[in-house]
Amino acid sequence: MDENFPWSHSRSPLARQHADRLFEAVRRDAVTALSGVLAGFWGDIEEQVRLAAIASHDNRAIYDDRLAISLLNQRAIDLAGRYRESLEQAFDRWRNPRPRSVDGKTLSLMSENALETHLAGQHVVELIEQQLAHPVYRNHECFEGLGAILGLPSQGPDANPIRPEVPVDALVKLILEHELTPELRRLIFLQLEKRLSKALTDLYEKVAQMLENAAVSRDRASAQAPVPSSQAGWNPDGGLVDQRTQNGGSGGSAGSAASAQGGASDGYRYRESIHHQVRAWRQAALRGNIVAGSDSGSGNSGTGGSHFGGGASGGASGANRGYPFGSARTLVPQELFGIASILQGSDPAPFVRALSGDDARSLSAAIRAQIATGSRQLGYDPTQMRFSEIDEDAIDLVAIMLQTLAHNHAGVQRARTMYGRLVVPYLKLALSDHALFDERHHPGRHLLEALSDACHGNIGETPQDQQTLTHAELAVDRVVDGYRDDQAIFELAATELRDHLEQQKRMRDVAEQRATEALCGRERLHYARRAIDELLGSRLYERPLTQGIAEFLTTHWRHHLVQTWLREGPDSAQYVAALAVGDALILADAEAAQGAGAQVADRLIELQTPLGRCYASCGLDASAARDSLARIVTALAFPDAPRRVHAVPVEEPMADAGDGAQLGAPRMAGGTDTVEFDQDLAMHMRKLRVGQNLRLVEDDGRATVGRIAWISPLTSRFLIVNRRGMRKLVVSPEELASMVGKGRVSLSSSDPPYEDAMREMWQELQHPRAS
């Protein structure tokens, strides 16, 4: 570390002592919080297994699950201690970094149980990292700053002691020594993902506040360093900073505000950067004649504003229309709040037209026009009033946010009307509480999240969809009718709507599970039949057989093998025993051709019980079974009976209404060669995971939504369901690539709606578009 390093001024003994104490405090809080994940962990899973045993008929599997989880629960204290040791070791490795040594260990094959466990853990890590992308990055930056004070070398994100991989790997090591059934493994990692997501969310926020309050963020240390454009914008997961200390001064350029997004100076905070950016956007919009009726007064002072009378006419700014800019009075917040209260509950048609695109004005211009109309009702002259810059910012931010949400999630006029009715309540909320745009758990955000979920892809096709829209309207009614100045009304409305959505989600999950099980069963049946036909063909082509033996092999034995393959698996002892029945009859037929009657008789006696199981598997009653056995005996009784090579009967392929039958999807009867698709795009499609959202364009041009509910382990095909969990489409990665190339399908973000809207809002602020 040379003297020019940004943290060189903080390497005093006192700074090091403070950093050491801070590190120990972070370590203590983090280990305590993450250790709490295992509190009652095994007991909860044991209860889930017990409840599953009540409804299950697979006694053997349930017995294995209960035995395994019981053993784990008995060792809960020991496992918790080892788990905590792993967490402590991660902090030790970060505090005392060592070069990675190359040992002489040889590679060895991993058991199937270990492989499945590692894959399950990796999946949980990826889910949490996607969910908490920004907090993870934010904590890494803070730890880098802390490490700089402690004199540690720069370490990558893989060394962060509270990254999601650390607690997940700690649990994986605990359960690797236990043989787990697939169902028990699924329950363990499902419970881990649920608990760990909540624990890490709280922990990251707490640790970031501790480190940022201590001014150890690397970004604050490099105040003069340029900020990359990818970091100066809205953060990937919403970019929320809950520390909203008001610092003195609001002057500065948009460029310095962009640098403040990274926390480069104590004089700027996250919210200030948003306000500076929206003012720069407003100036650019005015220069390009994009937004009518808005004339920012920013530049030298932070107290200027615009005449809101100009917004009603949709023309030039008030200064250009002959009004003396200096004589206009700035509207105080209480006055603007009162005007908004008059507008609340009034006809939202102007806002709805702006959201629908039926009005040439933007939503921000429509809001200003309605405020001008409302001000006249209170006796104000809108031509002699101006907004403060803070109020201008609130109007523009609310307009961009609601316009983005309505564009992305309101597919019908009924849904757009709901967003239009919420314009005034959210304007009042933004005027009274500036944390609306930077606080993750703000009540206003919760309601918009629930409303967007209810409206997304919902065109009211079914009674269930209509019911969801009705509940959304009731939530909007509650806010419009009841909001005065208490934010709790937003949380209450969001909770009521979310309860209905959770009920719909449970119904959707059941429908998805049924669709998945049906498709999985069909694919397994198809795969089993193909495997059995290949095996049967190899038997029939080897030697000539009598008609009676060949008929048994191609009917009853074939069906018995398929059923055993599906029920027990191709590696089971039952399947091996079923194979032996057919092979024994083929051998008996060869012995009969040689005239070895005694050997044939002994073999038939040995096959009586296995043949009985075969007939029972085929559903034959006693009379039909006796007739079939009589034909076998007759075929083997005559050595001179005609024998020939038989072929495997060809069955009609299973019709599947979901395979390429919707949205103009191509057929793939001849393999991928018959489908035109981009190879690189198909490669990306193969990387898609369950839960990926899709936008589908129907044959009539309507846009609907879909979601990948299941990926076949046999064929890699995607089961795509609609918002109710009903089967919509079944396609291969190549088919999906072809449809994406034709514009019939597009990938949608799986992030929460509000976070998507915030990202788009920041993009809009950086790159104004012509209305």
Contact 56, 32 (CB under 8 A): no
Q: Find, among 354, 368, 370, 367, the residue nearest to 410 by Cα.
A: 354
Collapse the DSSP code of 691 into the 3-class scheme (helix H, G, I; strand E, B; otherwise coil) and give the result.
coil
Mean pLDDT on 241-261? 34
Q: How far is the C-alpha of 296 from the C-alpha of 393, rounded, in Å?
A: 10
Least confident of 129-133, 147-151, 210-214: 210-214
| Residue 103, Cβ density class (10 Å: 0-12 exposed, 13-18 middle, ≥19 buried) | exposed
Q: Compute φ and ψ for 661, nearest 5 degrees.
A: -100, -10
Q: Which residues contact 225 (CB under 8 A, 6 or more apart)?
A: 264
Mean pLDDT in the chain?
A: 77
| Interval 512-529: pLDDT, tens | 888 888 888 888 888 888
Map tokens 């295992």 to a residue.
Answer: 38
Contact 651, 536 (CB under 8 A): no
| Interval 460-487: pLDDT, tens | 888 888 999 999 999 999 999 988 888 8
- Tokens for 711? 């990926």
- Tokens for 714? 């046999």
Mean pLDDT on 604-612? 87
CA distances from 225 to 156, 169, 256, 260 (A): 20, 36, 11, 11
- Note the Cα 752 to chain centre separation in Å: 8
Q: How far is the C-alpha of 595 from the C-alpha of 640, rounded, in Å?
A: 9
Q: How far is the C-alpha of 352 from the C-alpha of 348, rounded, in Å?
A: 6
pLDDT bracket for residue 595 (50, 70, 90): confident
Collapse the DSSP code of 36 into the 3-class scheme (helix H, G, I; strand E, B; otherwise coil) and give the result.
helix
In DSSP notation, 264-278 reads --TT--HHHHHHHHH
Least confident of 6-15, 186-195, 587-596: 6-15
| Residue 59, Cβ density class (10 Å: 0-12 exposed, 13-18 middle, ≥19 buried) | exposed
- Tokens for 66? 């209960």
Residue 422 has pLDDT above 90, yes or no: yes
Residue 30 has pLDDT above 80, yes or no: yes
What pLDDT sits at residue 55?
Answer: 64
Mean pLDDT on 642-658? 70
Residue 220 has pLDDT above 50, yes or no: no
Mean pLDDT on 389-413? 88
3-state secondary structure 628-663: HHHHHHHHHHCCCCCCECCCCCCCCCCCCCCECCCC
Collapse the DSSP code of 728 into the 3-class scheme (helix H, G, I; strand E, B; otherwise coil) and give the result.
strand
pLDDT bracket for residue 596 (50, 70, 90): confident
pLDDT bracket for residue 299 (50, 70, 90): very low
Strands in 727-731's sheet, in edge-to-edge order, are: 727-731, 718-721, 703-711, 693-697, 745-748
Mean pLDDT on 71-78? 84
pLDDT bracket for residue 4 (50, 70, 90): very low
For strands 718-721 and 727-731, give the pairing.
antiparallel
Residue 280 has pLDDT above 50, yes or no: yes
Collapse the DSSP code of 434 into the 3-class scheme (helix H, G, I; strand E, B; otherwise coil) and give the result.
helix
Mean pLDDT on 529-545? 87
Q: Find, among 564, 556, 575, 562, the residue nearest to 529 by Cα.
A: 562
What pLDDT sits at residue 22?
Answer: 86
Q: Find, among 473, 456, 489, the residue nearest to 750 by Cα.
A: 456
Higher pLDDT, 599 or 771: 599
Q: How far is the C-alpha of 453 from the C-alpha of 504, rounded, in Å?
A: 11
What pLDDT sits at residue 166?
Answer: 92
What pLDDT sits at residue 2?
Answer: 38
Residue 249 has pLDDT above 70, yes or no: no
Bridge partners of 695, per DSSP, are 705, 746
What pLDDT sits at residue 108?
Answer: 59
| Interval 197-217: pLDDT, tens | 888 988 888 888 887 666 544
Residue 330 has pLDDT above 90, yes or no: no
What pLDDT sits at residue 58?
Answer: 60
Q: How far is the C-alpha of 493 from the C-alpha of 445, rounded, in Å?
A: 12
Q: Which residues contact 204 (CB under 8 A, 6 or more apart)?
A: 132, 135, 136, 138, 139, 162
Contact 709, 512 (CB under 8 A): yes
Q: How far is the C-alpha of 237 from the C-alpha of 752, rounded, in Å?
A: 9
Residue 650 has pLDDT above 80, yes or no: no
For strands 703-711 and 718-721, give the pairing.
antiparallel
Q: How far is the C-alpha of 426 from the C-alpha of 643, rounded, in Å?
A: 86
What pLDDT sits at residue 107?
Answer: 53
Higher pLDDT, 351 or 228: 351
For strands 385-386 and 329-330, give the pairing.
parallel
Q: How far is the C-alpha of 229 from the C-alpha of 763, rounded, in Å?
A: 11
Q: Which residues contact 42 (CB under 8 A, 6 or more apart)?
A: 69, 72, 73, 76, 79
What pLDDT sits at residue 474?
Answer: 93
